[in-house]
Amino acid sequence: MFKLTGILPPIATPFDHAGELYKVKVQHNVEKWNKTGLAGYVVCGSTGESVYLTTEEKLKLWDWVAEYAASDKILVAGTGMESVRETVTLCNAAAERGYKAAMVRTPFYYKGLLNNVNAQVLYFRTVADQSKIPLMIYNWPQVTGIDIAAEAVVLLSQHPNIFAIKESSGNLEKMIQMIKDVKPGFQVLTGSAPILSPSLSVGCAGAVLAFANAAPYSVVTIWEAHRSREIPAAMDWQNRILRAAQLVTVKYGVPGLKHAMDLNGYYGGPPRLPLTVIGAEAKAEIEAAFDGLKG
């Protein structure tokens, strides 16, 4: 079974001020991240504003990141769409570009029909049956309004082409239940930087963190501290990043994260409309929280 450990950012998509993809800034960010201890990159996830990208733009981003990523970085493509057909098409397009896995979010548009175990299991099994690369389930109920049941994840862990879940709900109790009940070798990763250290303590294999776009060294330090069983050091760093992580992952989201990236020498730039650049007060709040957090 495919293994994915360590810290990966779901990378932000650079846009210029006309709203077009900004290739030179993709290169700048990826080459700067290459120098960190990040395990790899997730391209076209929620933090990458994937719902605002065309298929052609996603293909371009996958090509560009693959071109600039260091050879030791694992590449994961965000491919989740509402239909099985389109999701499979994107999974296989990513496979052709050398991506090792696909991160597939829960479909959510027809909530009344999809918010049950049978529908969730059917969707992911059918995609996995046809995908040329293994799948990581992506659960973020705060945005989708669909919270994939732990029972569904346990059933899906039996599929040979589904290797992990990115659990972004922040529900530690649910993560503990999944870690206990899933098939041996299936990996549970957290998507929540504010609870990174506690998540690793209960057995998460790693993390896919938006926060890592702006301050990768701090979350890699937490990861390394857990690997060496230096839990007090991990919790010290967890407390240091807590306020900053809450601001850019909960309160201000992608626009706030992009400002934090600009502060730390990466290119955040503007989000794509209808998202807008944050105001002066929010910028000041983020600047204070990131003071001392190395990019």
* pLDDT attached to residue 103: 98
pTM of the model: 0.97
Q: Domains, the chain, ranges and CATH?
A: 6-215 (3.20.20.70)
Q: What is the pLDDT of residues 249-291, one digit of tens each?
A: 999 999 999 999 999 999 999 999 999 999 999 999 999 999 9
The pLDDT tens digits of the residues spanning 14-28 come to 999 999 999 999 999
Of the candidates 215, 216, 134, 209, the one whose C-alpha atom is nearest the C-alpha of residue 168 is: 209
In this structure, what DSSP letter does residue 210 have?
Answer: G
Q: Please, are residues 78 and 168 in contact by the beta-carbon 8 Å criterion?
A: no
E strands along 206-262, which residues? Answer: 206-208
* Peptide bond connecting 107 to the previous residue in cis, omega within 30 degrees of 0: no
Which helix (H) or strand (E) segment holds residue 138: the answer is strand 135-139
User: pLDDT tens for residues 206-224?
Assistant: 999 999 999 999 999 999 9
Q: What is the model's pLDDT at position 160?
A: 97
Query: Residue type for 164, please?
Result: A
How many CA within 13 A on the CB side of residue 1? 18
Q: Is the pLDDT of residue 295 over 80?
A: no
Tokens 């896995």 correspond to: 101
Average pLDDT over all residues of the chain: 97
Asked if 80 and 87 touch (Cβ cutoff 8 Å), the reply is yes
Q: What Rg, from alpha-carbon coordinates, does the chain have? A: 18
Kindly tell me if the per-residue pLDDT of 101 is higher than 80: yes
Residues labelled catalytic: 166
2 vs 163, more confident: 163
C-alpha closest to that of 174 among 135, 204, 194: 204
Q: How confident is the model at residue 1 (pLDDT cuts 50, 70, 90)?
A: confident
Let me know the angle formed at the C-alpha of 209 by 205 and 210, rounded to the nearest 5 degrees: 170
Q: DSSP character for 194?
A: G
Phi, psi of 51 (to 5 degrees): -70, -15
